[in-house]
Structure 1
Amino acid sequence: MGCDRISELPESLLTQILSYLPTKDSVKTSVLLKRWENLWLRVPVLDLNVSNFPRHGKGFRSFIENFLEFNKKSRILQGYIYIDNPKFVVSWPSLKIMHLEQIIYDDAPLIMEKFISGCPVLEDLTVIDPQDYSTGGLQLLRVKSQSLKSFRLTFDSMIMDGAAFAVEIDASRLEHLSFEDNQFAAIAVKNLASLFMIKIDIEFDVMSCNSPLEPEDLSTIVTIHDFLTGISSVRHMIISESTVKVLYLYSHYRPIPKFDNLYRLETDFSRYMLQFLPVFLESCPNLRNLIVKEFWHRVPIGQTELTYVPQCLVSTLECVEIKNLDMEEESWKKLVRYFLENSVVLKKLLLRFRGSFISNRDSVFNELLTYTKLSPSCEIVIH
């Protein structure tokens, strides 16, 4: 006769196993045996969706209250909380991970602040599609935390027209920051001295207006300047083509602030903005690794000139990777020549071409070997 080996496992291991299940499935295990009846209540993860509750989610509050009442010293470490309109006081002293998605309710900024302030050891926060039911979009999101290490804010769907979105971040221990989508009108940051990596895909409401940045757009210019200054301690930056376009327009009015700690940069540059690449690199004097994903447009090659040599090419840049190259076009060779002829300490130049097979790879490689290299030890690699 078979025996129940799983039920013989230590409780700590069983709760860890249940933590990988959605909470609704974890609850179902309570009918297995007496030992499993309340085991799910001790799982340190909540993964809930209001649609799982009857009467349009009205049982959600009761569920949470019963859960906390059973285990008043709850050690919840992670939560995926899909809610409608929380009226209860948030107090999760052990919560470290929180994922909020498609939260729709009145007075959204106040509710969001309540969630964050009620989690004193929160380390990882993700907010997706926040919306204020009364306005169609969350007007302002304040993230103030002394424990937060990672924050991601993104929109998977479009908010209503005319809804301005702004975010304020004050997090002295924040290490990873990610903004995705183009629906941010203003971003204010401070106390980000611990910032290690940032992913930026925002337009500051510039590109959506279908008009270039003008001198009279002083508030937008100041907002961009303050944001760049606030993240200037970052070491690893991933920046989208849309944001590069905004910075290109911004650079006509003010210089890009220095990123003295930045050692790795991943960015998208279309050909018509390549002349801005050295200007942007000048703000990264200690850059060691550069990854450029190019989007080639049909622009005459003569219109793209690369003559200025930034400080990082002279002293620190060791590895350059250029992606999405088109073997049929000649213009990529100008960019390759630029790095080879001006990079003093370059160790590797990695070229990635479109397509899975390059018939004339050897001839291309042999041609590259004829280029002048300021760094004799630089290795050229083709993929």
Structure 2
Amino acid sequence: MYLEGVKFDGLAVLEKLISSSPVLEDLTVITYPMDYVEVICVRSQSLKSFGLESQRNPEEEQDPDVVIDAPRLEYMSVSDYRPERFVIRKIGPYAKVDVDVMFDVDVMFDDSDLDDPLEAKKIRKFLFGISKFHEVAISAGTLEVIHEYSQVGKLPKFLNLTRLDASLVKSSWEYLPAFLGCCTNLYSLILELDRILEREEIELSPVPQCVLSSLHSLQLKTPQTVSKMMLVSYFRNNCKALRKILLSGL
């Protein structure tokens, strides 16, 4: 099923359409301005693959909220998406996700005198949902959201996560260590950077537990410069279980 910019006559029409398709395995939804969808509720016992993409202008309107309840889901891709709420209740045990979800962190965390503001709870629910996936490819924007949340709340443990593909293109190295510290069973890590870090950035950053104990495979996608070896040394000196390092240029 492929839905692009559909105008639904009723809030529950999309949910009923999906839940009434008992053999649906592949679903793609692309949101557009004024398509009248407030919540994309995916409840399906058969769905294996789900794609979600936004064509809305983030400066004009947010994307619809999302609720995922699909116990057989094997793969999910979310691209350039900016909702207020994103909840993942059930997925398959070895599901993979390519996630590019952003929240308005300036609005969410401007009430700094609150220990656990309502808006921060929405991000925590999103993170608990992502923590259920076995393999994750994550955008720089989503990493920034996680970093901002870690300043006001405790990140969940990503116990199921064994493979992470993280993009730091046009982003900051400081977004990564706090997240890696929650990935206690991470086996394989792919990092994409569009610049080589300064020595101080690397030396002053904490060494996450997963880097110390469980990481076996590392791939670095960075510009081809001599200073790349500083980053290689950071992982080689701290990864006790590391067996393979693969270097590639951008």
- TM-score by length of structure 2 reads 0.87
Q: What is the CA–CA distance in structure 1 between the aligned matches of 2:201 and 2:88, rounded to whole Å? A: 37
- Structure 1, unmatched stretches of 5+, are 1-97, 355-383
Residues 213-242 of structure 1: CA deviation (Å, up to 9, x unaligned): 653582221111112112322110000000
* Residue type at the aligned position of 2:17: F
**Contact 1:173 1:195 survives alignment (8 Å):** no
Call closer, same or farther: CA 1:163–1:348 in 2, change over 3 Å: closer
Secondary structure, counterpart of 2:179 in structure 1 = helix
Structure 2 counterpart of 1:302: 200
Which is bigger in relative contact order (C-alpha 8 A, separation at least 6)? Answer: 2
**Which structure has the larger Rg over C-alpha atoms?**
1
More helix by proportion, 1 or 2? 1
Q: SS of the counterpart of 1:224?
A: helix
Pick from 257, 280, 288 the counterpart of residue 187 of structure 2: 288
How far 1:191 sits from its partner (Å)? 2.3
Match of 1:118 among 11, 14, 20: 20
Counterpart of 1:190 (choices 79, 89, 101) is 89
Are 2:229 and 1:333 aligned? yes
8 Å Cα contact 1:195/1:231 also seen in 2: no
Is the CA contact 1:236–1:264 (under 8 Å) kept in the aligned structure 2? yes
Q: Does the Cα contact within 8 Å between 1:103 and 1:131 map onto a contact in 2? A: no
Amino acid at match of 1:116: I
The secondary structure found in structure 2 opposite 1:338 is helix
Aligned to 2:133: 234
| Structure 1 match to 2:144 | 245
Partner of 2:177: 278
| Cα offsets for 1:270-310 (capped at 9, x unmatched) | 5873234232211111111100000228x864345345322
**How far apart are 1:178 and its partner, in Å?**
1.7
Q: 1:102 to 1:142 in 2, by over 3 A?
A: same
Q: CA-atom RMSD, angstroms?
A: 2.7
Q: 1:266 deviation in Å?
A: 0.2
Residue 243 (structure 2) aligned to one of 337, 347, 359: 347
Matched residue SS, 2:191: strand
TM-score using structure 1 length: 0.58
Equivalent residues, number: 248
Say if 2:80 is the partner of 1:178.
no
Aligned match of 1:101: 4
Of the three residues 19, 29, 40, the one matched with 1:127 is 29
Alpha-carbon contact 1:116-1:143 (below 8 Å) kept: yes
Q: Is the 8 A contact 1:269 1:295 kept in 2?
A: yes
Identity %: 35
1:191 and 1:228 map into 2 onto residues whose CA distance is: 14
